[in-house]
Every structure is written in structure tokens, then in C-alpha cells.
Structure 1
Amino acid sequence: MISIIILLFVSLSIIQFMMNSIQNRKREFGIYILNGGRIVDISKIVLYEIIIYMVVALTVLFAIVNALNIFNLNTTLIIIGLTIVYSFITFLLPYKKIKNFEVKELIKGDE
């Protein structure tokens, strides 16, 4: 039960971090649009950032699991699968925010 609460807290923290990152980078995204980028390309950038965060988290997790000598192939496959699903779920809210941006709003760069 405690692990579910911690997972929810971490999930909300990551989503909030990504939302703030998107808000703070509106001008950068606007410049990207002016240079021929598309909203879909910006969405891909954010998705890749989330994937990088998850890979780093998995690396740390595997280091801890290996140090505690509780390494198991089934557990490893479950963790990798859940991380992939978790990454895409975490991506949904920032993706929705990016899709709702108007090009004019991005170019202007208002907060």
C-alpha cells in the first residue's frame, strides 16, 4: 500500500516537472516552430526526455537490486514492461498540453 502511494507521488512529481518544463520552454519551442519544426516534433522531444529519465531511473534501480542480490529475470522483465507503460502514461498530460498550444502563443513566448 505504501509503495502505491509513493508511486503516485513520484508520478505526479514527474508530470508536474514536465509541465513546468514545457511552460518554461515555450519560447524555445516557438523558435523551433519558426525554423520549420512542428508541434509533433516538440511532442517527440518531450517523449524522448521522459524516456531518458526512465532509463536513468531503471539504471539506478538495477544497481540497487543488484547490490541487494535480489536479481531475478522475471522481476526484471516485469520492471522493464511496467517502466515502458509508465513512461507513456506519464507522457499523456504533457502531450495534451503541447497539443493545445497555438503557434502564435509559442512564438510570443508568454508565460
Structure 2
Amino acid sequence: MMETRWKRLGFERGWSQRDVLRRLAAAARRQGVDLPAEESVKKQLSRWENGHSRPTSFYYGLLTEVFDLPPDDGPMPVAAPKPGTVTAEMASLRAEVARLAELVSRLTTPVAATR
């Protein structure tokens, strides 16, 4: 079995496939996108890790975010949905909800006591 970049990067970080899947889902949510069922993405990740296929540009974009790789290190992520469509509006709303959730979590996180 050939070691691929994706398998090596996960191994170097001590991440299991489940860890990578969680990070992929979180990266997708930040872009306002829901991934398919976890089992489906897990099969794809396994194929990428074992060199049986390559990620699409969308997943490549997510993987570069997850592994903190330079954005010009491969295919560009797919374009955003066409403006004015329901898909674009939903993506915008999801991104706004994620932003607001992040703000709320910051407000509810206890601040370390200062001396």
C-alpha cells in the first residue's frame, strides 16, 4: 500500500480518520456547506489516503484548510454558488449563523482571572 500525502499528514498530527472527518465537516460548515453522510466521506477519505482516487477541488480546498497548507498548493476550491440563487442565500445564512455561534461561544467562555 502506497503512503499518500493525506495519510502522512494525518499520521504526523496523530489524527485518526475520525479526527480528519470531524475537521472536514467543521471546515465545510464554515463555508456554509453540509457534507454528505459521514460514512460516504469516510469512504472517500480512505480512497484518498490509499491513493485510489484524488479529492475533487472542493474537498482539496477543505483538506488544505484542515491540514493548514498554503492555498496555492494545488487545485483551487470550487467557486461559490451563483449570486442570487437559493443555494447562495443558504450558504450566506449558514456562514452568518456560524459566525454568530463563534461570537456567542466567545462570550460564554470564562475569561482567565487577572492579577
TM over 0.5: no
TM-score (norm 1): 0.29
1 or 2 for the larger relative contact order (CA 8 Å, sep ≥6)? 1
